[in-house]
A and B are shown apart, each in its own frame.
Chain A
Amino acid sequence: EPEVTQTPSHQVTQMGQEVILRCVPISNHLYFYWYRQILGQKVEFLVSFYNNEISEKSEIFDDQFSVERPDGSNFTLKIRSTKLEDSAMYFCAIQGSQDTQYFGPGTRLTVL
Protein backbone atom coordinates (compact mmCIF):
# COMPACT_ATOMS: atom_id res chain seq x y z
CA GLU A 1 0.00 0.00 0.00
CA PRO A 2 1.45 3.38 -1.05
CA GLU A 3 2.36 5.72 1.78
CA VAL A 4 1.32 9.33 2.01
CA THR A 5 2.36 11.88 4.60
CA GLN A 6 0.69 15.21 5.24
CA THR A 7 1.92 18.34 6.96
CA PRO A 8 1.07 19.95 9.22
CA SER A 9 -1.01 17.55 11.26
CA HIS A 10 -2.90 20.48 12.76
CA GLN A 11 -3.16 24.05 11.46
CA VAL A 12 -4.83 26.85 13.38
CA THR A 13 -5.45 30.07 11.50
CA GLN A 14 -7.43 33.27 11.70
CA MET A 15 -10.35 33.85 9.39
CA GLY A 16 -9.20 35.55 6.20
CA GLN A 17 -5.69 34.15 6.34
CA GLU A 18 -4.13 31.95 3.69
CA VAL A 19 -3.17 28.36 4.48
CA ILE A 20 -1.16 25.81 2.54
CA LEU A 21 -1.60 22.14 3.26
CA ARG A 22 1.06 19.72 2.02
CA CYS A 23 0.99 16.15 0.84
CA VAL A 24 4.10 14.08 0.23
CA PRO A 25 3.79 10.70 -1.41
CA ILE A 26 6.64 8.32 -0.64
CA SER A 27 7.02 7.23 -4.25
CA ASN A 28 6.20 8.74 -7.62
CA HIS A 29 2.54 9.08 -8.50
CA LEU A 30 0.64 10.82 -11.23
CA TYR A 31 -2.82 11.02 -9.72
CA PHE A 32 -3.52 13.09 -6.61
CA TYR A 33 -6.70 13.99 -4.82
CA TRP A 34 -7.88 16.23 -2.01
CA TYR A 35 -10.87 15.49 0.16
CA ARG A 36 -12.25 17.14 3.25
CA GLN A 37 -14.25 15.86 6.19
CA ILE A 38 -16.15 18.19 8.47
CA LEU A 39 -16.26 16.81 12.00
CA GLY A 40 -18.73 13.97 12.28
CA GLN A 41 -19.65 14.01 8.62
CA LYS A 42 -18.76 12.05 5.51
CA VAL A 43 -15.67 12.49 3.38
CA GLU A 44 -16.23 14.94 0.51
CA PHE A 45 -14.35 15.11 -2.77
CA LEU A 46 -12.62 18.41 -3.55
CA VAL A 47 -10.35 17.94 -6.56
CA SER A 48 -8.44 15.44 -8.66
CA PHE A 49 -5.08 16.31 -10.21
CA TYR A 50 -3.37 14.44 -13.00
CA ASN A 51 -0.23 15.26 -14.90
CA ASN A 52 -0.04 18.70 -13.29
CA GLU A 53 -3.57 19.67 -14.21
CA ILE A 54 -6.92 19.62 -12.46
CA SER A 55 -9.02 16.87 -14.02
CA GLU A 56 -12.14 17.17 -11.86
CA LYS A 57 -13.34 19.43 -9.07
CA SER A 58 -16.41 19.71 -6.90
CA GLU A 59 -18.65 22.65 -6.10
CA ILE A 60 -16.75 23.07 -2.84
CA PHE A 61 -13.54 23.77 -4.74
CA ASP A 62 -14.24 27.42 -5.58
CA ASP A 63 -11.88 30.26 -6.48
CA GLN A 64 -10.52 30.33 -2.94
CA PHE A 65 -8.92 26.93 -3.47
CA SER A 66 -5.95 25.99 -5.62
CA VAL A 67 -3.65 23.00 -6.00
CA GLU A 68 -0.17 22.57 -7.39
CA ARG A 69 2.96 20.45 -7.37
CA PRO A 70 5.58 23.12 -6.74
CA ASP A 71 8.64 20.88 -6.89
CA GLY A 72 7.48 17.71 -8.58
CA SER A 73 6.99 15.75 -5.38
CA ASN A 74 4.98 17.78 -2.87
CA PHE A 75 1.33 18.30 -3.66
CA THR A 76 -0.28 21.33 -2.04
CA LEU A 77 -3.76 22.63 -1.36
CA LYS A 78 -4.01 26.37 -0.82
CA ILE A 79 -6.97 28.20 0.65
CA ARG A 80 -6.50 31.91 -0.05
CA SER A 81 -8.85 33.48 2.47
CA THR A 82 -10.09 31.00 5.03
CA LYS A 83 -13.61 31.03 6.37
CA LEU A 84 -14.98 29.53 9.54
CA GLU A 85 -16.71 26.83 7.52
CA ASP A 86 -13.38 25.70 6.09
CA SER A 87 -12.62 24.09 9.44
CA ALA A 88 -12.33 20.37 8.71
CA MET A 89 -9.93 17.48 8.21
CA TYR A 90 -8.27 17.65 4.83
CA PHE A 91 -7.06 14.39 3.31
CA CYS A 92 -4.71 13.90 0.43
CA ALA A 93 -5.06 10.68 -1.55
CA ILE A 94 -2.95 9.04 -4.23
CA GLN A 95 -3.96 6.46 -6.74
CA GLY A 96 -2.34 3.06 -6.56
CA SER A 97 -2.96 0.13 -8.79
CA GLN A 98 -6.46 -0.74 -10.00
CA ASP A 99 -7.84 2.79 -9.44
CA THR A 100 -7.63 2.38 -5.65
CA GLN A 101 -7.08 5.57 -3.71
CA TYR A 102 -4.94 5.57 -0.59
CA PHE A 103 -5.38 8.31 1.93
CA GLY A 104 -2.95 10.22 4.08
CA PRO A 105 -3.42 10.81 7.81
CA GLY A 106 -4.96 14.22 7.21
CA THR A 107 -4.47 17.80 8.35
CA ARG A 108 -6.88 19.23 10.85
CA LEU A 109 -7.63 22.84 9.90
CA THR A 110 -9.15 25.07 12.54
CA VAL A 111 -10.27 28.54 11.47
CA LEU A 112 -10.91 30.99 14.30
Chain B
Amino acid sequence: GESVGLHLPTLSVQEGDNSIINCAYSNSASDYFIWYKQESGKGPQFIIDIRSNMDKRQGQRVTVLLNKTVKHLSLQIAATQPGDSAVYFCAENFGLGKLIFGQGTTLQVKP
Protein backbone atom coordinates (compact mmCIF):
# COMPACT_ATOMS: atom_id res chain seq x y z
CA GLY B 1 0.00 0.00 0.00
CA GLU B 2 0.98 3.64 0.05
CA SER B 3 3.26 4.18 2.96
CA VAL B 4 6.16 6.42 3.62
CA GLY B 5 7.38 6.46 7.16
CA LEU B 6 9.97 8.04 9.36
CA HIS B 7 11.82 6.12 11.99
CA LEU B 8 11.79 8.71 14.79
CA PRO B 9 9.18 11.35 15.64
CA THR B 10 11.66 13.70 17.36
CA LEU B 11 15.38 14.25 16.99
CA SER B 12 17.26 16.50 19.37
CA VAL B 13 20.79 17.63 18.46
CA GLN B 14 23.34 20.09 19.71
CA GLU B 15 24.00 23.16 17.62
CA GLY B 16 26.96 22.48 15.35
CA ASP B 17 26.48 18.73 15.30
CA ASN B 18 25.37 16.79 12.24
CA SER B 19 21.77 15.58 12.03
CA ILE B 20 20.52 12.46 10.31
CA ILE B 21 16.81 12.01 9.63
CA ASN B 22 15.64 8.69 8.28
CA CYS B 23 12.73 7.58 6.16
CA ALA B 24 11.47 4.21 4.94
CA TYR B 25 9.28 3.86 1.88
CA SER B 26 7.23 0.96 0.63
CA ASN B 27 6.77 1.43 -3.11
CA SER B 28 9.80 -0.05 -4.84
CA ALA B 29 8.56 1.39 -8.15
CA SER B 30 8.88 5.00 -6.98
CA ASP B 31 11.55 6.90 -8.87
CA TYR B 32 11.58 10.31 -7.22
CA PHE B 33 11.94 11.36 -3.59
CA ILE B 34 11.89 14.75 -1.92
CA TRP B 35 12.69 16.16 1.49
CA TYR B 36 10.65 19.06 2.78
CA LYS B 37 11.10 21.29 5.81
CA GLN B 38 8.05 22.70 7.55
CA GLU B 39 8.27 25.46 10.10
CA SER B 40 5.39 26.18 12.41
CA GLY B 41 2.46 27.80 10.59
CA LYS B 42 4.08 27.56 7.18
CA GLY B 43 3.85 25.38 4.11
CA PRO B 44 6.38 22.65 3.30
CA GLN B 45 9.60 24.09 1.92
CA PHE B 46 11.60 22.12 -0.64
CA ILE B 47 15.05 21.12 0.58
CA ILE B 48 16.48 18.55 -1.76
CA ASP B 49 15.37 15.74 -4.04
CA ILE B 50 16.82 12.59 -5.53
CA ARG B 51 15.89 10.25 -8.35
CA SER B 52 16.12 6.49 -8.14
CA ASN B 53 19.05 6.33 -10.56
CA MET B 54 21.20 8.04 -7.92
CA ASP B 55 22.21 6.97 -4.42
CA LYS B 56 23.49 10.29 -3.15
CA ARG B 57 22.92 13.94 -3.81
CA GLN B 58 24.42 16.94 -2.07
CA GLY B 59 23.15 20.43 -1.56
CA GLN B 60 24.21 23.27 0.66
CA ARG B 61 24.82 21.65 4.07
CA VAL B 62 22.38 18.87 3.18
CA THR B 63 22.90 15.43 1.69
CA VAL B 64 20.26 12.90 0.74
CA LEU B 65 21.10 9.22 0.57
CA LEU B 66 18.95 6.63 -1.14
CA ASN B 67 19.25 2.91 -0.52
CA LYS B 68 16.89 1.16 -2.92
CA THR B 69 17.82 -2.28 -1.65
CA VAL B 70 16.23 -1.65 1.73
CA LYS B 71 13.93 1.17 0.56
CA HIS B 72 15.51 3.71 2.85
CA LEU B 73 16.05 7.43 2.48
CA SER B 74 18.00 9.72 4.76
CA LEU B 75 18.64 13.43 5.10
CA GLN B 76 21.90 14.59 6.58
CA ILE B 77 22.28 18.16 7.78
CA ALA B 78 25.81 19.32 8.46
CA ALA B 79 26.62 21.75 11.26
CA THR B 80 23.02 22.00 12.41
CA GLN B 81 21.88 25.51 13.26
CA PRO B 82 18.96 26.81 15.35
CA GLY B 83 17.24 27.84 12.12
CA ASP B 84 17.13 24.18 11.11
CA SER B 85 14.60 23.48 13.86
CA ALA B 86 11.44 22.34 12.10
CA VAL B 87 9.50 19.25 11.08
CA TYR B 88 11.09 17.33 8.22
CA PHE B 89 9.05 15.23 5.83
CA CYS B 90 10.16 12.79 3.20
CA ALA B 91 7.84 12.44 0.24
CA GLU B 92 7.57 9.89 -2.51
CA ASN B 93 6.28 10.64 -6.00
CA PHE B 94 3.68 8.02 -6.88
CA GLY B 95 3.22 9.35 -10.39
CA LEU B 96 0.98 12.03 -11.92
CA GLY B 97 2.32 14.39 -9.31
CA LYS B 98 0.87 12.53 -6.37
CA LEU B 99 3.25 13.00 -3.45
CA ILE B 100 2.90 10.65 -0.50
CA PHE B 101 4.34 12.17 2.65
CA GLY B 102 5.80 10.47 5.68
CA GLN B 103 4.70 11.26 9.22
CA GLY B 104 7.44 13.79 9.85
CA THR B 105 10.38 14.11 12.22
CA THR B 106 10.67 17.10 14.52
CA LEU B 107 14.24 18.37 14.66
CA GLN B 108 15.11 20.28 17.82
CA VAL B 109 18.42 22.11 17.89
CA LYS B 110 19.81 22.85 21.33
CA PRO B 111 22.05 25.91 21.67
Contacts and interface: CB of A to CB of B under 8 A. Distances in A.
Partners in one complex: yes
A90 B101 CA distance: 15
Nearest to B96: A56
A6 to B, nearest CB: 8
A55 B46 contact: no
A105 B43 contact: yes
A46 B52 CA distance: 25
Interface string B27-46: 00000101010000011111
A99 B93 contact: yes
B63 interface: no
A104 B95 CA distance: 21
Contacts of B32: 99
Interface string A39-69: 0011111001010000110100000000000
B43 A106 contact: yes
Does more than half of chain B's interface fall in helix, strand or loop, or is it mixed?
strand
Contact of B98 (A45, A98, A105): A45
Contacts of A44: 101
B104 A101 contact: no
B44 A91 contact: yes
Interface in B13-57: 32, 34, 36, 42-46, 49
Contacts of B44: 43, 91, 103
Contacts of A91: 43-44
A45 to B, nearest CB: 5
Interface of B: 32, 34, 36, 42-46, 49, 89, 91, 93, 95-104
